[in-house]
Structure 1
Amino acid sequence: MIKPIVPRHLLVAASAWASRIVMAFVQLASIRVLMSGLGIEQYAAYALLAALMGWFMLADFGIGLSLQNHISERRSKTEQYDDYIILAVAMAAILLILTIIALYFSSPYIAPIYLKQFPLLTTIEKTRLFFITGALFICAALGGISYKIWYAEQRGYFSNVLPAISSVVGYVGIVAVNSSTLTDKLLYSLVAFLAPSAVLPLGVLVVQVWRRFRDGIKEATFEIAIKILKRATNFWLLTLMTSLSLQIDYLVISQFLKPADIVVYNLSTRISWFILFIYISALTALWPVFSEAIAQGNWVVVRRLTRKYLEIGLGFTLICSLLLVWLMPMAVQVLAPNETIVIPVMFILLLGIYQLLRVWTDTFAMILQSMSELKPLWIAGPIQAFLSVVSQWYLAQSLGLYGIILGNTLSFALTSSWLLPLAVNAHYKKHVASQKPIL
C-alpha cells in the first residue's frame, strides 16, 4: 500500500478549516440579508430559534458518537462494522419519529414561554415556528450520523464539505425569501436556511446504509444493539450536561434580554466564536486518530499531538481575540449598516477569555471521549452544568450581557479546566507504569 503524502487527519483538519471558513462567511453574510429583510425584532426571534440547534441535536441520543467509537475500535483490529451501522441507524430512526411526535404535542406549551419577548407574534405563530425549527433540527441530528461514519473511517473531509454545501444552498434560499414578496419571511427564512442541513445528510445516510444493508444485516445481533445503546446512553447524558453548560445562554437570554440586546449578543458571539469553531473542527478530525492510537497503546502520538494543537489553538485564539477589539465595530457596521449597534470592548475581551478556556478544556475532553473514558466528564459535568445554569440565571438579571458570559466562564474555570487534564495525565501515567519491565 502506498502511504499517502498528506496524513488523513491533516487532510480532514484542512477540509474542516476550509468548510468552516465557507460556513462562517455564509453565516455572517446571512446576518446582513436577514437584518435587512426581517428587522431587529424578527431577526432576534430568528436568532433565538436557530440557537435551539444544540438542544435538538440531542435527538440522536448519543448513537452517532457511540457508533463512531465502535467503528474506530473495529478498524484498529481490522474487523468489519457494517452490522453496527445498520443497527445504529435503525434505532436512531425510531427515536427520530418518537421525538418529532413529542415535539408536536409539547410545542404549544414551550413556544410561548421561549418567545415571550416577542408580543407581535401570536401564540399560533410562535408554536408553528418552534415546531418547524425543531423538526428540521431533529432530522439534521439523524442525518449527522452519516458524518460520524465518515469521521470514524478517517474520511472526515466529506463530513466537512457537505455542511459547507448545505450552508451555501441555505444562503441562496434566504436571499430568495427576503427578496420576495412573501409575508411570513421569518418562517420561510428558517426553512430555507435549515432544510438543506437536514435533507442532504439524511440522503447520504440512506446511501451509506443501503450499500451495507445486504451484508450487514446478516451479522446484526441483539448483543451488538445493546453495546451501541449502552455507550450511547453515556454519551447522550454527557452531551445533555454539556448542553446545560454551553447551550443554556439563549434560554436565559430569552427570558431576560430584550430583542435589541439579543441581537448584540448574537452578533458578537457569531463573529467571535468563529475562532473557536476552527479549533473544534481540528479536534473533531483528530478524534478517530486518538481512538486508534490509544487502542494500540501509542501514547507518544497522543501527547505529541495534544501539545502541538494546544500551542496552536491557544496562540491563535489569543491573537484573534485581541484583533476583534479593533475589528468588531467595522464588522458590525458591515453586517447591520442600517442599525445602530454597539458591542462593548469589555464584552469582547470576556468572550476571548472564555474561548481560551474552551480551547484548553475541549482538547482534554476530546481525548477522554475518544477512549470512551467518560467518568471524569461525569464528575465535572453535573457540577459545571449546575454552576452554569445558576450563575447565568442570576448574573443575567443584574449584569445583562456580561452576566451570561461571566457565568459561562466561571463554570469552566471552577471545574473542567483543571479536572479533565488531571484525568488524561492519570491515564498516561498508568500506561507508562504498565510498560515497565518486571524484575
Structure 2
Amino acid sequence: MISYFYTKINSGVGMTAVSAMLARVVTAVLQILTVRAAIFLIGIDQYSIIAIIVGLQAWFMILDFGGSFSFLNYASEKQAVGKGAQECLACGLIWSIASVLVGTLVLNILAAPAANWLFQNGKIFTKFKDAETALRVGGTLFIIFANTQLISRLWLAEGRGYIANILPVLGSLSTFLIFKLVGLLGAFHLDTSITVLIFCFPNALVQLACLIWVSLKRGVVLSSCDKEFFRVFGKRALQATVFSLQAAFTLQIDYIILSRLANSNEIVIYSILSRIFILLSFVYTSVLTSIWPILSYSIVHRHVAKLRQMIKYLFIFGTAFVVLASAVIYILQDHLFDLMTHGKIIVIPPFLVIFMGLNQLAVLWVSILSQIMQVAGRLNIMIRASFFQLAISVGLQYWLTIKFGITGIVAGVLLSYMIGGLVPLIFFVRLFLRKLEGEELIRATG
C-alpha cells in the first residue's frame, strides 16, 4: 500500500497531487487569515454580508455552462490515446467567451431581485443599492473566474497540474496582502462592494492573464474548432451544467437559507468553520482532481483491477485523514474562534463541529464514487443519482435550520448525502465496474 503511493508520488500525477495538496492547504490558510484581517477592518456584521456573497460562488460557477468540465474530460481522453489536448482549446475558448456574455446578462437581469430577496429581510442590509452593487461586482468576477479555468484544466490534462496549482496561491496571497495594506493605511474606508472586489478580483485576474498568455503563445485560432466536435463538446457541457445545478441546489443552498433565517453571529460562525473544514476538502479534492487522467486511462483501457485498488486506497486514507483532522478542529475550536474574531465572545453550538466532520466524511465518500462516473462520462447516471438527493436536501436543510439553527443546516446536508447520494452511487459504480470487467474479459478472450 505504501509502495503504491510512493510510486505515484514519484510520477507526474504524484507531483500534481502533492503540489495540489500543498497549494490548497496554503490557499485555505491564506483565506482564513484574510477573513481574520477582514473582520478586523469591517466588523462581524458587515463581514456576514461578505460571507453570504462569497458563499454564493458555486452558483456563479455554474455560469461556465459545463465548459471547464467538458474540456477536461475531452482533453484527458485525447491524452490517454496519445493525442494532444491543445486541439480542444479553441472550442473551449469559444464556449467560455459565449458563457461570459450569457452569464453576465443573466446576472444583470437577476441581481436586483436576488439582492432584495437575500438581504432585505431586516437582519443585514439597510441600503438596497449596497446589496445590489456588491452582488453585481462579486458575481461578475466569479463568472470570469469560472470561465478562465480552461488553463488549469489544460495543464492538468497534460500532466502539468503542478503549474496550475500555483494560481490560487497567487490569488489568495494577493487578496491577503491587499487587506493587510489597507489595515496599515488605517484611514481608508472599505464599503461592501470594495471588500467584495478585494476578495474576488485577484483570482479572476491571475487566471484570465494566464489563459490569454497561453492562448497567444500557442497560437490558438478560434476558427480551428471543428463544428461537429463543438456540437458534441456542447452536449456534454450542458449535461454537466444540469448536474452542477442539481449539486448547487443540494449542497450550496446553505448561505441562501442562512441569509433568511440566521443572524450575523451565526452566519460568521458558519462561515469561519466552513473555511476551516474546507482545508480538509481541499486536500482530498486535490488528490481526486490530480488522478483524473489516471482514472480516464484506466477506464479507456479497461484496467478494472487498478480502478478497484485506487478506490480502496482513496477510501481508507481519505477516511483516516478526515476523522483525525476533524478531531483536531473539535479540540481547538474555541482557540480558533478567539483568534479569528479578535477576542469577541461567540458561542459555538455544541455539536456543530462534530456534524461538520461527519459531513466532510460523507462528501469524501460521495466525491470518490461520483468522480468515477464523471470520468467515465456517465453524467446521466450522475443526474439520476443526485435527483433524489436534491429532492430531500433543500427541505431538510430549511426545516432543520428552523428547528436547530446552523447545526440543522449541516445535519440536513449530511442526511441528504448519505440517503440520496452515497446509497445510489454505490449501486451505480458497482454496476459500472462489473460492465468494465465483462468488456475486459471479452477483449482478453477475443
TM-score category of the 2 structures, normalised to the smaller one? over 0.9
Show the counterpart of 1:317: 322
Q: Deviations over 1:291-347 (max 9, x none)?
A: 122111122222211111111100110111122221111111111123111223311
Q: How far apart in 1 are the matches of 2:290 and 2:37?
A: 32
Q: Does residue 37 in structure 1 map to residue 45 in structure 2?
A: no
**1:271 to 1:80, Cα distance in 2 relative to 1, 3 A:** closer
Equivalent residue of 1:318, what SS?
Answer: helix
Q: How has the CA–CA distance of structure 1 residues 65 and 5 changed in structure 2, closer, same or farther, with 3 Å as cutoff?
A: closer
Percent of counterpart pairs with the same letter?
Answer: 24
Corresponding residue number in structure 1 for 2:210: 204
- The alpha-carbon deviation at position 44 of structure 1 amounts to 0.5
**CA positional deviation for 1:435:** 3.5
The correspondence for 1:278, drawn from 266, 283, 297, is 283
Pair 1:99 & 2:103 matched: yes
User: 2:401–2:409: 8 Å Cα contact kept in structure 1?
Assistant: yes
Aligned residue number for residue 3 of structure 2: none
| Residues 324-373 of structure 1, C-alpha deviations (whole Å, 9 max, x = no match) | 22111111111112311122331111111111111111101011101111
Q: 1:57 pairs with 47, 61, 79, which one?
A: 61
**SS, match of residue 342 in structure 1:** coil
2:435 to 427, 430, 435: 430
Q: Which amino acid aligns with 1:189?
A: T
Match of 2:253 in 1: 248
**Which secondary structure does the structure 2 equivalent of 1:414 belong to?**
helix
1:297 is aligned to 302
Looking at structure 2, the residues matched to 304 and 337 of structure 1 have their Cα atoms a distance apart, in angstroms, of 46
Cα distance change of structure 1 residues 4 and 330 upon mapping to structure 2, 3 Å threshold: closer
Deviates more, 1:105-114 or 1:346-355: 105-114
CA gap of 1:339–1:105, structure 2 versus 1, over 3 A, is same
* Partner AA of 1:28 in structure 2: I
Give the AA of the match of 1:114: L
Query: What letter matches 2:232 in structure 1?
Result: K
Structure 2 partner of 1:192: 198
Task: Give the corresponding residue for 1:183.
Answer: 189
Superposed CA offset, 1:92-138 (max 9, x none): 11220221123123212211211235455411111111100100101
Residues of 2 paired with 1:218 and 1:128: CA distance?
37
Structure 1 position 219, deviation (Å): 4.4
1:90 is aligned to 2:85: no
Aligned 1:381-392 pairs, distance under 5 A: 381-392=386-397
Give the equivalent residue in structure 2 for 1:9. 13
Deviations 1:121-162 (A, max 9, x none): 411111111100100101101111211111111211122111
Question: Shift of the alpha carbon at 1:273?
Answer: 2.9
2:182 match: secondary structure:
helix
Secondary structure (helix, strand or coil) at the match of 1:28 reads helix
* Cα displacement (A) at 1:75: 1.4
Q: Comparing 342-351 with 278-287, which one deviates more in the overlay?
A: 342-351
CA contact (8 A) 1:35 1:336 kept: yes
Moved over 3 A (4+): 80-83, 117-121, 211-214, 216-219, 435-439
d(CA) in 2 for partners of 1:121, 1:148: 41
Alpha carbons 2:9, 2:15 under 8 Å: kept: no
Check conservation: 2:125, 2:131, Cα contact below 8 A: no
AA partner of residue 190 (structure 1): V
Supply the distance in 2 between the matched residues of 1:61 and 1:74 (Cα, whole angstroms). Answer: 22
Does the alignment pair 1:111 with 2:115? yes
Q: What's the CA shift string for 1:43-81, capped at 9, x where partnerless?
A: 111111111111111111001110111111111222234
* Aligned CA distance change for structure 1 residues 142 and 218 (closer, same or farther; 3 Å): closer
Match of 1:138 among 129, 136, 143: 143
| Separation (CA, whole Å) in 1 of partners of 2:285 and 2:8 | 24
Q: Go from structure 1 to structure 2 and tell me whether the alpha carbon gap of 1:80 and 1:25 turns closer, same or farther (over 3 Å shift).
A: closer
Q: CA deviation at 1:203?
A: 1.1
Aligned to 2:343: 338
Instruction: Provide structure 1 residue ranges, at least 5 long, that are not aligned to the other structure.
Output: none
Give runs of aligned pairs for residues 336-375 of structure 1, distance below 5 A.
336-375=341-380
Report SS of the residue matched to 1:343: coil
Provide closer, same or farther for how the CA distance between residues 221 and 14 of structure 1 changes in structure 2, counting only shifts above 3 A.
Answer: same
Moved more, 292-301 or 404-413: 292-301
**Matched ranges for 1:117-266 at <5 A:** 117=121, 118-180=123-185, 181-213=187-219, 219-266=224-271
- Mapped partners of 2:205, 2:358: distance in 1: 37
Q: Classify the secondary structure of the residue corresponding to 1:328.
A: helix
Q: Distance in 2 between matches of 1:434 and 1:239?
A: 30
Give TM-score scaled by structure 2 length. Answer: 0.93
Tell me which amino acid in the other structure corresponds to 1:249.
D
> RMSD over aligned Cα, in angstroms?
1.9
Partner SS, residue 415 of structure 1: helix
More divergent stretch after superposition (59-68 vs 116-125): 116-125
Identify which range, 414-423 or 32-41, moves more after superposition: 414-423
Structure 2 unaligned runs (5+)?
A: 1-6
What are the superposed Cα offsets for residues 251-285 of structure 1, whole Å, 9 maximum, x if unpaired?
A: 11111001111111112222123212211111111
Q: What SS class does the counterpart of residue 425 from structure 1 fall into?
A: helix
Q: Is the Cα–Cα contact under 8 Å of residues 177 and 188 in structure 1 kept in the other structure?
A: no
Q: Which amino acid aligns with 1:368?
A: M
Q: Which amino acid aligns with 1:294?
A: I
Alignment counterpart, residue 20 of structure 1, candidates 18, 24, 29? 24
Paired AA for residue 321 in structure 1:
S
Contact kept? 2:85, 2:154, Cα under 8 Å? no
| Inter-partner Cα distance in structure 1 for 2:245 and 2:9 | 40
Q: Does 2:113 correspond to 1:74?
A: no
Answering whether residue 56 of structure 2 is matched by residue 46 of structure 1, we say no
